[in-house]
């Protein structure tokens, strides 16, 4: 029997920082590291272990341990050292989460599908195909011959290279052919758009569509706002000026700055944000997209190009047009 670590995680429910060593807290399960040393690269595991035992405070704030969707969101949204590529689709994320939180027994080094009869455990049966909770015990082979395992920590799931214990970045996972990196790509983004942008994009995009359901906001765009946004292709990349949020190329093409306020803005509690308003991050992202929508539908909104060249004075037209959007939609 391998070394057994007690699960005394900060949540008091048996969940600790690292799934591997701390499965003992679940339904009496035992993790046998000797039997599975090779399978999981246990020797390298401690190297990983060290990095996972100090969870990122921001990560903890971002993840609601009672809600698997926040795991998904975190993994997709946050640009952090934890990377996630899901070769089997999003269900794996949910399945893995319920396996962890629902409780699973480990016998002879294999996770067994022994769930509690109620609560999260009962949901594991519906989330995991065939009650299969072995997502963490499988080895996945990349097209280039490497073998990889899925690990779970408080910050989400990540892929580990079995040969050296290194975490795989999503781009590296793509290179070795592990999964389809474009699976789940939002239809308004171009293939090849890095996965780290999908979540922030959808967050703002969906918030904007929600805003457009309000009558006043819909009227401002002549009732064409939702349809136009749905028909727009958004390109997310570095626009070369961190002050630029986005720019409208043509009525159905908008560039979003990967190094600008759309991606970087985060509200400060008790402190007003841009235009003196208390934005949430999704609201501010939605505002940027709706400002661009004003340009896209300029025959209706009367918007004119309102750029402020780098180093130059702020364009008063930008502010005036922004206030129109705010007045109509926020």
Partner 1 sequence: MSFFAKCGCVFALVLLSILASVASELRGVVTDSEGGVIPGALVIVHWDRSGTRVGLKSNVGIKQDLILETNVKGEFESELPQGFYDVFVAATGFTPDCRKVRIRRGETATYTPRLKADPLVGNELGDTFPQ
Residues making contact with partner 1 (CB under 8 A): 189-194, 197, 235-241, 243-250, 253, 255, 257-258, 261, 264-265, 274-275, 288, 291-292, 295, 305-310, 314-315, 318, 322
Angle at 248 between CA 244 and CA 252, to 5 degrees: 145
| Residue 6 or 238 with smaller CB distance to partner 1 | 238
- What's the closest the beta carbon of residue 115 comes to partner 1, in angstroms? 40
| Residue 75 or 244 with smaller CB distance to partner 1 | 244
8 A C-beta contact, residue 126 and residue 113: no
- What's the closest the beta carbon of residue 251 comes to partner 1, in angstroms? 12
8 A C-beta contact, residue 273 and residue 267: yes
- What's the closest the beta carbon of residue 247 comes to partner 1, in angstroms? 4
8 A C-beta contact, residue 221 and residue 212: yes
- What's the closest the beta carbon of residue 299 comes to partner 1, in angstroms? 17
| Residue 41 or 261 with smaller CB distance to partner 1 | 261
- Please classify residue 330 by burial: count the beta carbons closer than 10 Å to its beta carbon, then call 0-12 exposed, 13-18 middle and 19+ buried: middle
User: Tokens 């359901």 map to which residue?
Assistant: 213
8 A C-beta contact, residue 196 and residue 204: no
| Residue 161 or 170 with smaller CB distance to partner 1 | 170
- What's the closest the beta carbon of residue 304 comes to partner 1, in angstroms? 11
- What's the closest the beta carbon of residue 94 comes to partner 1, in angstroms? 28
Calculate the dihedral angle through the C-alpha atoms of 47, 49, 54, 55, rounding to the nearest 10 degrees: 120
| Residue 16 or 258 with smaller CB distance to partner 1 | 258
DSSP-derived secondary structure for 120-134: HHHHHHHHSGGG---
| Residue 16 or 195 with smaller CB distance to partner 1 | 195
Task: Report how far residue 323's alpha carbon sits from residue 330's, in angstroms, rounded to the nearest whole number.
Answer: 10
């Amino acid at each position: 029997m391998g070394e057994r670590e007690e699960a005394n995680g900060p949540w008091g429910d048996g969940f600790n920082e690292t799934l591997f060593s701390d499965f003992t807290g679940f339904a009496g399960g035992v993790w046998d590291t000797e039997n599975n040393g090779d399978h999981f690269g246990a020797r390298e595991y401690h190297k990983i272990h060290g990095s996972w035992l100090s969870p990122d405070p921001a990560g903890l704030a971002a993840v609601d341990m009672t809600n698997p969707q926040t795991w998904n969101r975190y993994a997709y949204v946050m640009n952090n050292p934890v990377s996630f590529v899901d070769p089997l689709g999003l269900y794996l994320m949910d399945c893995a989460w319920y396996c962890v939180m629902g409780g699973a027994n480990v016998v002879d080094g294999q996770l067994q599908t022994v769930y509690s009869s109620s609560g999260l455990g009962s949901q594991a049966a519906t989330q995991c195909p065939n009650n299969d909770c072995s997502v963490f015990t499988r080895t996945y082979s990349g097209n280039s011959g490497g073998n990889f395992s899925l690990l779970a920590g408080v910050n989400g799931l990540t892929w580990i290279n079995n040969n050296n214990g290194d975490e795989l970045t999503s781009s590296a996972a793509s290179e070795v052919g592990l999964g389809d990196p474009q699976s789940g790509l939002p239809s308004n983004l171009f293939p090849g758009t890095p996965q780290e942008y999908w979540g922030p994009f959808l967050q703002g995009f969906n918030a904007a569509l929600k805003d457009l359901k309000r009558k006043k906001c819909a009227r401002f765009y002549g009732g064409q706002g939702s349809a136009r946004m749905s028909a727009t292709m958004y390109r997310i990349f570095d626009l070369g000026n961190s002050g630029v949020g986005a720019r409208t190329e043509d009525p159905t093409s908008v560039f979003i700055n990967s190094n600008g306020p759309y991606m970087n803005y985060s509200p400060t509690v008790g402190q007003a944000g841009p235009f003196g308003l208390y934005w949430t991050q999704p609201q501010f992202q939605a505002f940027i997209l709706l400002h661009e929508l004003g340009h896209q539908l300029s025959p209706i909104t009367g918007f004119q190009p309102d750029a402020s060249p780098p180093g130059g004075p702020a364009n008063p037209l930008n502010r005036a047009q922004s206030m129109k959007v705010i007045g109509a939609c926020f």
